[in-house]
Chains A and B, each alone.
Chain A
Amino acid sequence: MARNNHSGRGQRRRRPQRHKDVLHAQGGHRAHDFRCTSCRLDVSPDAPGTAHRNHCPNCLASLHVDRRIPGDRDADCRGRMEALGMSVRDDGEWLIIHQCASCGELSANRIAGDDNPLALVRLALRPLALSPLAFRLAENPSAAFHEFDS
């Protein structure tokens, strides 16, 4: 048995290595993906509804790589940018305001179609949830806005 094996191994030609068509190197397979600095999610830059995705759809964090124009890669800070607030354009598009945790720079970016709706609504509700008016509204909804009437 062992002898058969030995002779067979000697006679058989070594099989050539299979050709690999998966390109892991730079510029190959999924080269333009980025990994979120906050939650480590691998994010593809192709997003529904926007051509300039710059933030993670899961946790909305971004990276400080662009300076003025989206995609110019002109900033040398490379700090993590956290979602600070939500703004609305005149046409009703939501914009996420990011602030760099390293240098304090602000930037605005449109939301993408696959951004986490719960994270977006939590961000939009943050001023209301943490304001003194929210506590007054919870206690007495009718009297909370009386100061606006005067």
Chain B
Amino acid sequence: MSSHTSHTTDPLRLGTFACAWCGLTVSTRAADGALRNHCPSCLRSRHVLDHVEGGRSDCGGRMSPIAVAVLRTGDWTVIHRCVRCDELTSNPVCADDNQLVLMRMAVRPLAQPPFPLEAFGTL
């Protein structure tokens, strides 16, 4: 009984998952066939894969996006942080991810700079 329930609620085995934050039902494959692990609407994820050990994680906490980073290839990745165990993961951006949320994260450092940015105008 319990194993049956865990199979049906396991996000790694189902073709769809419900976003833990906004409740959107999302298919695990994006339109181009890439494996997707975060909600395209609010970009939140769940901590089901352990990136340090490899394999599944037993944390299961919500992961919120904290940054976007650019790889050497020019692709964007979203950095997620687990709100429960503070684990960091990086995942590639899908084509249908919410561009507004991505752009808001990208410009967020410049909205609250720790030093005045006017000096860089002369460089």
How many residues of chain B get a CB closer than 8 Å to chain A's CBs? 31
Chain A 90-131, CB within 8 Å of chain B: the 1/0 string?
Answer: 001111010100001111100100000110010011111011
Expressed in whole angstroms, the minimum distance between the Cβ of B34 and any Cβ of chain A is 18
Q: With A and B bound together, what is the CA distance between A94 and B76 in angstroms? A: 19
Q: How far is the CA of A111 from the CA of B114 in the complex (A)?
A: 9
Residues of A within 8 A of B88 (CB): 97, 106-108
Given A97-B79, A118-B120, A127-B70, A88 and B108 contact (CB-CB distance below 8 Å):
yes
Measured CA separation A72–B81 after assembly (Å): 20
Q: Which of these binds chain A: B1-9, B12-20, B98-106? A: B98-106
Chain A residues bordering chain B, tally (CB within 8 A): 30
Report how far A88 CA is from B113 CA in the complex, Å.
10
Partner of A97, one of B67, B76, B99, B111: B67
Contact with A along B66-89 (1 / 0, CB 8 A): 111110001010010100000011
Q: Given A97-B79, A118-B120, A148-B100: A88 and B109 within 8 A (CB)?
A: yes
Smallest beta-carbon distance B77→chain A, Å: 8
Which chain B residue shows the least CB distance to A103?
B52
Tell me whether A79 is interfacial, beta carbon within 8 Å: no
Known: A88-B66, A88-B109, A118-B120. 9 other contacts (CB 8 A): A84-B69, A85-B69, A95-B66, A97-B67, A108-B66, A124-B110, A125-B110, A127-B70, A148-B103
Interface, chain B (partner A; CB < 8 A): 51-52, 66-70, 74, 76, 79, 81, 88-90, 99-100, 103, 106-115, 117, 119-120, 123
